A and B are shown apart, each in its own frame.
Chain A
Amino acid sequence: MMSYNGGGRTLDREDESAEAARRAPRRALDEARLRQQAIGVKLRQMFDRVVNEPVPDEFLDILRRHDENAKGGDDS
């Protein structure tokens, strides 16, 4: 499992708490952004799965049939 490690920097104690205070809201923001990104990825995946399905023959059949009908002058 992958996990986020805070970048591995070494800071002295004061810097650390100041840094933590600064980071808290930013982390929440990052988290929200990450969640939205994740949903976006899934959304595209869901859509692309159908896009990548083989097209049923009837789609091309009806287009062909329709085309022939039109040529036969029966374009109602």
Chain B
Amino acid sequence: MTVKAGAATGGADPAMEGRFKRELVALIPHLRAFARTLTGDQASADDLAQDALMKAWDARASYQMGTNMKAWTFMILRNQFYSEKRRSWRQTQLDQDAAERTLVAVDDPQSPVALDELRLGLGMLPAEQREALILVGAGGFAYEEAAEICGCAVGTVKSRVSRARRALQGILETGAYDRDGRSASDAMNSILAAAEHLGQAR
């Protein structure tokens, strides 16, 4: 089933638009999460997610109902992010600053230390490795879907994910992310402690 071409303005099928809108609204939390991993801070992430939401709404005529809307919207958000980034080099600096601000800003007693270190560690990965790892490792996308979102080959995604995993582990173990004098092995240890039940369950 497809949305009629040119349905975006004027004579759209209201039932179809309603369905599209409902599905789009349901994806907002995921778009916010993906945006957060790209920008590193909440304010610009929400700006990005809102821009992507608008873009998706405007492009609804080109969306094929029944195909993977999550992947489609993630692709829009990602394109939006990189086109904005090209426009302003300031953003690259922002990435680093934002990562540090996030570390300070998260003052939630429930928040395990390791999450902030993971965030900082992620921030040190090359952008294409980070996004591949996030899409596959956290977003629940198959390699094929991630490849479509990133506009690259499946094999490229696979190798980016595996390089990202190795690099991230290295960063967390050596404490290379460290900026506040915390001991080097803390991050991996707290991550391991949290996952101990995993080893037991196997």
Taken together as a complex, chains A and B put the C-alpha atoms of A32 and B59 apart, in Å, by 44
Please encode chain A, from 28 to 60, with 1 for each CB lying within 8 Å of some chain B CB and 0 for all others: 001000111111111111111111110110111
| B50-58, B83-91, B152-160, B176-184: which lies at the interface | B50-58
Taken together as a complex, chains A and B put the C-alpha atoms of A58 and B198 apart, in Å, by 39
- Given known A-B contacts A46-B119, A66-B54, A4 and B32 have beta carbons under 8 A apart: no
Q: How near does chain A come to B67, taking the closest CB pair, in angstroms?
A: 21
B192 at the interface (CB under 8 A from A): yes
Q: Evaluate contact between A43 and B198: CB separation under 8 angstroms.
A: no
Q: How near does chain A come to B51, taking the closest CB pair, in angstroms?
A: 10
Q: In chain B between 107 and 124, which residues have their CB closer than 8 angstroms to a CB of chain A?
A: 114-115, 118-119
Q: How near does chain B come to A37, taking the closest CB pair, in angstroms?
A: 5
Taken together as a complex, chains A and B put the C-alpha atoms of A70 and B17 apart, in Å, by 12
Nearest residue, chain A, Cβ from B29: A51
A2 at the interface (CB under 8 A from B): yes
B100 at the interface (CB under 8 A from A): no
Interface majority SS (helix, strand, loop, mixed), chain A: helix
B4 at the interface (CB under 8 A from A): no
**B32 CB contacts on chain A under 8 angstroms:** 50-51, 53, 55, 59
Q: How near does chain A come to B60, taking the closest CB pair, in angstroms?
A: 10
Q: Evaluate contact between B49 and A38: CB separation under 8 angstroms.
A: no
A11 at the interface (CB under 8 A from B): no
B65 at the interface (CB under 8 A from A): no
Task: Enumerate chain B interface residues (CB-CB to A < 8 A).
Answer: 8-9, 21, 24-25, 28-30, 32-34, 36-37, 46, 49-50, 53-54, 57-58, 114-115, 118-119, 133-134, 137-139, 165, 168-169, 172-173, 188, 191-192, 194-200
